[in-house]
Amino acid sequence: MTSDTPNRLSLTRFAWLSIAAAILTIVLKAIAYLLTGSVGLLSDALESFVNLVGALMALAMLTIAARPADEDHAFGHGKAEYFSSGVEGTLIMLAAVAILATAIPRLITPSPLEQVGLGLGVSVAASLVNLLVAQVLLGASKQHHSITLEANARHLMTDVWTSAGVLAGVGAVALTGLERLDPIVACLVAANIVWSGTGIVRKSLLGLMDTAVPMDDLSKLQEALAPHIQNGIQYHALRTRQSGARQFVSFHLLVPGSWTVQRGHRLLEVIEADIRHALPSATVFTHLESLSDPASWDDTSLDRTETPPHAPPAG
């Protein structure tokens, strides 16, 4: 159990903030579309609706991820966050399809825009809301190591840049009178959304596949181990994996065969404390082995192929 775990449920307040922002931006962008008739602004409103669905999913998964370990989930529920980010990435790409379906007919048969100035003003207000909330969520995701909040923040930032592109398209139509610029920008928006959604889904799949901790964290782990690897002490079978906000570390420590179990255990306690200090979100599993026992070198891989020797009789 890490010191961060009891506070995981508090992260749902950021999901509620995202929900409120999504509802507000949907209303603002729908008004902007009704005022202008811009398919680009309509695409913006559709993406904000996806933001709302993603925020609701984030709320549900953050609530599940905050549950403590139980009999059926001995390693906790942290991986629930990957489902949220994966679903949100998929929804982003579905929104892109909807945008294209709306933009292509308008590209073939363009129509004039109305009340452009007022519509742009409303859309800018919506984008500022998304920008502010995205920065709050991104800061929280880094502080609490939450992929759900990160995915939600990245999605909102994509929405901000998307809105900027749409506004540029509407402005270009107003300046040039070329009505096809609006659906062209909408198609570019859809391409940008696909790129963002693909990245979010990829990161979620990597998490579900038990990907190792980031290289920076691996370096911290090795630095924590380094001072203890002296006087013949070694380690092997070092494995790590990221599971939501939690990290899991396991390795075998090899000590001289003449050591007592108590001495070896005492060293392990010190090493584990150093690792937890370097990686506060880490849960550490260790295995003590003897340097002088040949069997200690038979289990360095994930699957042990050789039959271990029988334990000596008690007494």
Bin 293: left if φ > 0, else alpha if -120 < ψ < 50, else beta: beta
Report the predicted TM-score, pTM, of the whole model to 2 decimal places.
0.65
Choose among 292, 217, 286: nearest CA to 247.
217
Q: Six-digit token pair at 40?
A: 């680009």
Output phi, psi for 245, to 5 deg.
Answer: -80, -20
C-alpha of 53 from chain center: 17
**Number of helical H runs and strand E runs in the chain:** 8, 3
* Segment 282-304 mean pLDDT: 84
Q: Which tens digit of pLDDT belongs to each residue from 32-54?
A: 777 777 666 676 677 678 778 88
| Class of domain 215-297 (CATH, top level) | alpha beta
Angle at 246 between CA 212 and CA 131, to 5 degrees: 95
Sign of the C-alpha dihedral computed for residues 99, 157, 41 and 177 taken in this order? negative
- Domain 215-297 in the same topology as domain 5-208: no
Give the total residue count for the chain. Answer: 315
Rounded CA-CA distance 285/269 in Å is 11
**pLDDT at residue 4 above 50?**
no
Please indicate whether residue 24 or residue 116 has the higher confidence score (pLDDT). Answer: 24
Domain ranges of the chain: 5-208, 215-297
The predicted-structure confidence for 15-29, as pLDDT tens digits, reads as follows: 899 999 989 988 887
- The CATH class given to the 5-208 domain equals mainly alpha
Give every CB contact of residue 158 below 8 A, 6+ residues apart in sequence.
Answer: 92, 192, 193, 196
Q: Which residues contact 169 (CB under 8 A, 6 or more apart)?
A: 38, 40, 181, 182, 184, 185, 186
The whole-number average pLDDT for the span 221-242 is 89
Please give the span between the terminal C-alpha atoms of the chain, in angstroms, as a whole number.
36
What's the confidence (pLDDT) of residue 32? 74
**pLDDT above 80 for 250:** yes
pLDDT for res 219: 93
